[in-house]
Each structure stands twice: as structure tokens, then as C-alpha cells.
Amino acid sequence: MAEFWSNLRKIWKNQRVRIVFWAAFTGVLFGLTGLSSPVEDFLGNLRWSLREEKASGNLVIVEQDSKTLDALGTTDVSRNNDADVLAALFEAGADRVFFARPFSGENDEEKDKAFIQELKEHPGKIFLGAKPGASNRNYASRIPPERYYKHAHVVSLVAYSKAFNLNIVLPLASDSPLGKIPSMSAEIAGVDGSLGKAYAPDYSIRVSSFKTVSYIDVLRRNFDNAVLKGKTVIIAPTAVSYNNIHSVPGLGFGAAEPYFHAIGAETLAHGVPVHLGWFPPLLVVLIVVATGLGRGRALDVYRFTGLVLVFVGLPFLLDTIRVSVEIVPSLVVALVAVIRMRNLDRVEVAGETNAGSGLPSVQALRTSEALSPQILVALKIRNYGAIIGSFAEHVEAELANEIVRRIRISDEPVTVYHEGGMFVWLSNIRSSFDLLENLEGLHRIVQNGIQVGGLDIDLSFNCGIDSDFDRPMGSRIAGAMQAAEEAVRNDELVYQNDSRRQEAQWEISLLTSLDRAIDNGEVWVAYQPKLDLKLNRICGAEALVRWTHPERGPISPEKFIRIAEEFHRIERITRFVINDAVRTAVELQRMGYDLTMSVNISAQLLRNPGLPGMIADILAEHELPPDRLILEITETDRLDRSSRTYQMLQRLVRSGLRLSIDDFGTGNATIDYLRYLPASEVKIDKSFVSAMETSKEDLLLVQSIIDMAHSLDRTVVAEGVETATGLETLRELHCDVIQGYYLSRPVPFRELLEQIVQPRALKIG
């Protein structure tokens, strides 16, 4: 427990953590107290004003408008009028009728009789409204008389006005003297809801888009029956004298209260709107802020601007699917965080800038906790202080900028950090060999002199480099600076500080001896035979390069091929292998054995425009038909037909060569290869072949690859076959060709010839 509190105190000491905490506290306070509700309603109204949707047309509003009252010469319609209107509506084919008004009954029972008779004649199709009292929020106390509701349904006309009347929400159901009754909108839409559930209608549905008929026109049968046939009808008091006009949220004009229930019904027809509240957006903002804590600037102006755009645009998009969120608490979090952190940034920047040169201080890089896969370079200017002190005026910034400009000539763009006479940067050059050449070139440029303050200055420098990518940045900087100091003491241009220094030096020496090794026979070609399962005979071989060092013995092909690719020497090795493979194929032909030879081609070479010419020259020299040479392709970069790689492959195929997709099923070698590459052969990766005997999934995968390749008229080769069971399984799966240790390891040409001449030496069943 003590350790827990100790760690917690350490975390709390981080100023950015404290900023995030107080920003989160402020946002949660806004969310829990509802302080942001008026702003949320304002933003919601703004979004509704920018959208416009039309009503579905399933609802028709029969308006008890001023025209009706003037025609009747009264201040309200009577129950006799309502009875006549009901009769006319159902005669016209109306489906259901809702009265969006309360009923208190009339003293004249004779007039009631006609209305009650209509209620009796249309059971289950007439709905009477119940209004709330003066002091009850979701309690519809003003219900119709019993003689009415005995023959009709009762629905709630309760509506809530939110703060400052910025929004009007509707319940799905209300309490009443009759118990729970549905709201009018919920009943129309066929939605059942709880008493505590309220929703905001989608006010982008325009009032003007509803079909309307005047009450007096219905009473006088002066309307088109087609307008009402099969429709749900709301009888709505809309005359100004009824005093029930309210402002429609977001639109700035008024509408009679029944229209709010109509808009609600249209909204619920698409499902009850989902309100996610304020917490999910706030959580997203906190994650965005907190995930940047380890990278220095946790939240900058650009990230804040992006958050604002997202949380302004996202609610707009969500509104279209009736989902709402509250964004103000999350914006409060972002605003508090950005203001506090920008102030903190100014303080930190002041401490992370070299006052003399104006360049970023090495301390700014040193405090970075992130690991970097880039080589770190520390360049030490000899007698830097003496050079600066030799000028009467302050010229350090000018000198530093001249040095940086030369560094960026071939390593652009890099951020150069400055501390005393040391300039440090993370190089964009990935290869140590190329970086050494680059620093040699930089040294030659600097030796030509730098002009500062009108004077020519002779500069000399030494460098230390660090490529131990797994160490913290502070440790790497110290190592690179120490290496630079060693380079000064030993008068060497570059020293490398790396736990792999000896290995790196060995790799560089390996590279320099590679050409000599090819010439003196240390590098040779081994051949692994390929067995045709249908004919049960050797049909070809894969040529594989080997290097037997006189001191180190066999060197792993993965090692020296990787180095050759890294230092752009792979073309020499490939030329050597292809030449040996083609010569071997020709020699076998003279002996009466017509075999194909497969050679691996590096993705790097596929971008070399001279590759087709090189292969053509070798084939012509030995007079071997191009279709006897198979080029195995792995891990090409892009697969679309516009890429240089694809165009190169097309050139190779047009020249008569055959292509094979190597390591199929891994890395990039997937179904896209079959779609784009003009290959005639597919090689299933050995990892699947070796695992298929114990894994049903791998067995099914191998089978599916074979079936798919055959359907595209490709030959299938399975590599990595190490058991008799594996061979027989592949035979049963109708695989075409196999290779692997069970058949033979890669062997020199003499042993390959023996296996061809005496096939019984092979384990081919």
C-alpha cells in the first residue's frame, strides 16, 4: 500500500497530470449539475435550424382555426360539431382520430349524446387528450368525463419546457387519475414507454410539411376524401384565441401545441431517440488528452481545434439518426486543458531553447521518453567556445544556423538540438553505411569554411553515433556525446556508441569482403530439388546462395543477404546465383534432364530497370530458353497495376520468364498477389505445411490455397515438407510439386546430379 501511495504521489507531481485532473473535474461538474444544459439546448436548436426534413404524410392535422371560429360565430366548437366532424372523418376513410385538446364535458347532455354516439360507433379509433394541472409536471389531471372515456382511449398532452424555453420535450407516458396513460405521440407511433422516459422531438421536421384541413371544411364536407383516407388525424385547436402558440425550438417562429405532438409522433416512428448524455464525449476528450502525456505536449491548439470540429460535426451527423450527445462538458475539458497546457508549454519552451543559438536545447530531446528507431548523431565542433569568443558581437545564432543548414543538405528535414559545442539530431538516414558516407560528405563541405559576421571561419568536427534503439533517449544522447568525445581524442571522424558496435563493425567488414568472397569461391550455390507428385520425379530445383567463410565458417544467408540489401549490393549476388543456375540448367539439358531452375529475386531489384537486361544477357550467353527460369517473388511493395513493381513484373513475363509467388499466405503474399501478379506458380509457405499435420486449421488453409490456385490455373509448390506423412497428405490434396528436407536439403550440384540420376536415393515413396 505504501508503494502505491508513493507511485501516486510521483504521478501527481507531473504538472500535466494535474492539469488533466482539474480539467476532468470541471467537465464532470458541468455534466452532473446541468450547468451546460442551456448551451446544449442552444446548440441543438442551431443544428435543427440547419437541417430540414418533411413529415411522412401519414398524419393529417384538422385545424380548429380562426376561420372555423369565425364561421361558427363562437369562441369554441361544441360537442355536436365534434360529433359531425368525427362522422365526416370516418366516412372519408380516416384510420384513427386524436383530439389534441382537453374535454371538460358540456352541461347540455343532449349535445353530448351525439358525440358519445360517435365514440361508441368507432371503438378503439378515437383518442381524447388529457392535460396537466397547474402544479403537476407529468401528471395529466384534467381528463375527459367518464361518459367520454368509457367509449374512447385517453392520451397525455403533457409537454415540458426546458430552461429559458429553449427546448420542449415530451414524455412517452404520463400518470393520471386513470393510472399510466401513453402520450399522444407515443400512441400514434405505437411506442410503449415508462413514466420516467422523455425525449426531444426532431424539430428539423417542419411544421409546414404536415397536411392540414380546416375544421370548418370537414364540418361542411368541403374537402378531398383522398387526403384523409387511411390516415391518422389530429384535431388541433390552432386559433390564436386558444392561446396555445409556442416557439418551435431552433426555428424562431411559433406553432400551436398540437404540432409539437405531431412532430414527436413523426420522430418516434423511426424509433425512440437515443440520448447518450455527456459522459461518452467527455471520456473521448480525456483519452485524447491523456494519451499525449508521455509525448511532451499533451494537447496543442491543432488537437483542440480538431476536437472542436469533431464535437460540433459529430452531433450534427448523429441527429440524422436520432442520437444525441451533450458536448459542452467535453469542450470545457478541452478548453481548460488547452489554456493551462499552452501556458505550461511557454514555460517549458523557454527552458528547452538554447538562449545563444535559438535552436532547441538538447534538454528538450533528453526529456523525451519515447523510443526512436532512428540513428542518433552527436556532432562536436572543436574549440566552439573559442570561436564564439573571438567575435566582438554576438554571432552564435548565425554560426549555429550555418552549421544546421549544412547538416540539412543531405539529411532533411531534421530537428537539430544544440548544447555548447555539441549539435545533436535523429537522422532520417536508416543505413549506418550511408550515414557514414553522409558525414564524410558533410565534413568535406565544412572544411571549405563557413562565413560568419563577414569573416571566413575554419571549422572541424567529430561525430558520435548511437543506434541502440531500445534504450531511453537520455541514455542514447549521453552515449553519442561520449562517442563524439572519443572521436576527438582519437582523431577519428566518427565513433559509434552501440552495444552492437563489434557486430556492426563486423557487418561493415563483411560487406567489404563480399565481392572478394564471390570471386574466390567462398560464395557458392546450393540446389534443393523439387518433386513432381504426379510424375513422381525431380522436375526442378531452387538455387540458394551459400557463403563459407575461411575463418567464421558458414555464414547465415539471412545475415549477409540482409546486409547486401541494406548496402545495395544485392545485384551482384543475384547475378552470380542466376548465372550459376542457368549454367547448371544447360548442363543438365545436355545430359538429357530438362529441369526448371528457381531463383529468389529481392524486392529491391524489382525497382532496378536494368534487371530484365541482366537476366536476358545471362540467358543468351548460355543459350537457355527463358521459360526454364523461374523467378520467385516475395514481399513486393504495391500491388496495383500503376506501380513500378507491377510494370517490372509484366516486362519479365513478356520476356518469357516465369514468376512464382513465394511464401504465399504470409506478409504481403496473400490473395491480392493472385489477383495482380502474372505468376504461373504459387509456393505455400513452409510454416503452414509443417503445421498441417497437427493443426486442422492449417490443413484446411493449405487445401484452400491449392484449390484456389488451381482454379486460377496456377501450379502449386509446397515447401518445407519434412515427413512422409506430409508428402502423402499433399499428394492427396492434389498439390503439384513439393520441396523440403524430407526430399533433400540444399546440396551442391554434384549431389543434385546424383539424386537426378539415381532417384531411389530420394525418399519419394
User: Averaged over 260-289, what is the pLDDT?
Assistant: 87
Mention every residue, 6+ apart, whose C-beta is less than 8 A from residue 225.
91, 92, 93
* Domain stops at, among 498, 532, 567: 498
Determine the residue type at 215: Y
Q: Is residue 490 part of a domain?
A: yes
DSSP state, residue 356: T
Confidence band (pLDDT; 50, 70, 90) for 499? Answer: very low
Q: Is residue 745 part of a domain?
A: yes
Task: Return the CATH number at 411.
Answer: 3.30.70.270
What pLDDT score does 298 carry?
A: 44
**Cβ–Cβ under 8 Å, residues 65 and 238:** yes
The three cell numbers of residue 338 are 488547452
Q: Are residues 516 and 641 in the same domain?
A: yes
What pLDDT score does 452 carry?
A: 80
What pLDDT score does 637 carry?
A: 47
Q: How far is CA 735 from CA 164, 669, 702, in A?
A: 77, 19, 9
Q: Are residues 435 and 540 in the same domain?
A: no
Of 514 and 595, the one with more pLDDT? 595
Q: Is residue 734 part of a domain?
A: yes
Range of the domain at 249: 59-274
Separation CA 721–CA 730 (nearest Å): 9
Q: Are residues 384 and 512 in the same domain?
A: no
Q: Are residues 264 and 282 in the same domain?
A: no
* Domain stops at, among 498, 529, 556: 498
Q: Is residue 355 part of a domain?
A: no
Q: Is residue 646 part of a domain?
A: yes
What pLDDT score does 188 carry?
A: 95
Q: Are residues 722 and 628 in the same domain?
A: yes
* Domain stops at, among 459, 475, 498: 498
Exposed, middle or buried, 4 (CB in 10 Å: 0-12/13-18/19+)? exposed
Mention every residue, 6+ apart, whose C-beta is less than 8 A from residue 713.
none
Q: Are residues 532 and 514 in the same domain?
A: yes
pTM over 0.75: no
Task: Return the CATH number at 638.
Answer: 3.20.20.450
How does the average pLDDT of the chain come out, rounded? 84
DSSP state, residue 510: H
Q: Are residues 616 and 520 in the same domain?
A: yes
Model confidence over 189-209: pLDDT tens digits? 999 988 889 999 998 999 999
Q: Is the pLDDT of residue 377 over 70?
A: yes
Give me the half-sphere count of Cα atoms (radius 13 Å) on the Cβ side of residue 25: 6
Model confidence over 592-640: pLDDT tens digits? 999 999 999 988 888 888 999 999 999 999 999 999 999 998 754 445 5
What pLDDT score does 487 carry?
A: 82
Q: Is residue 238 part of a domain?
A: yes
Model confidence over 27-50: pLDDT tens digits? 888 888 888 788 888 888 788 888
**Alpha helices per DSSP H over 320-366:** 328-351, 362-366
**Cβ–Cβ under 8 Å, residues 702 and 688:** yes
What pLDDT score does 687 carry?
A: 87
Q: Are residues 191 and 203 in the same domain?
A: yes
Q: Are residues 400 and 492 in the same domain?
A: yes
Q: Is residue 7 part of a domain?
A: no
Q: How many domains does the chain have?
A: 4
Confidence band (pLDDT; 50, 70, 90) for 285? Answer: confident
Confidence band (pLDDT; 50, 70, 90) for 565? Answer: confident
Q: Are residues 448 and 521 in the same domain?
A: no
The three cell numbers of residue 681 are 506458380
Q: Are residues 550 and 483 in the same domain?
A: no
DSSP state, residue 691: H
Q: Are residues 343 and 370 in the same domain?
A: no
Nearest to 683 by CA among 637, 730, 640: 730
Of 164 and 558, the one with more pLDDT? 558
Where b means 16+ CB within 10 Å and e means fewer, 537-573 reads ebbbbbbbbbbeeeeeeebebeebbebbebbebbbeb
Confidence band (pLDDT; 50, 70, 90) for 430? Answer: confident
Q: Is residue 149 part of a domain?
A: yes
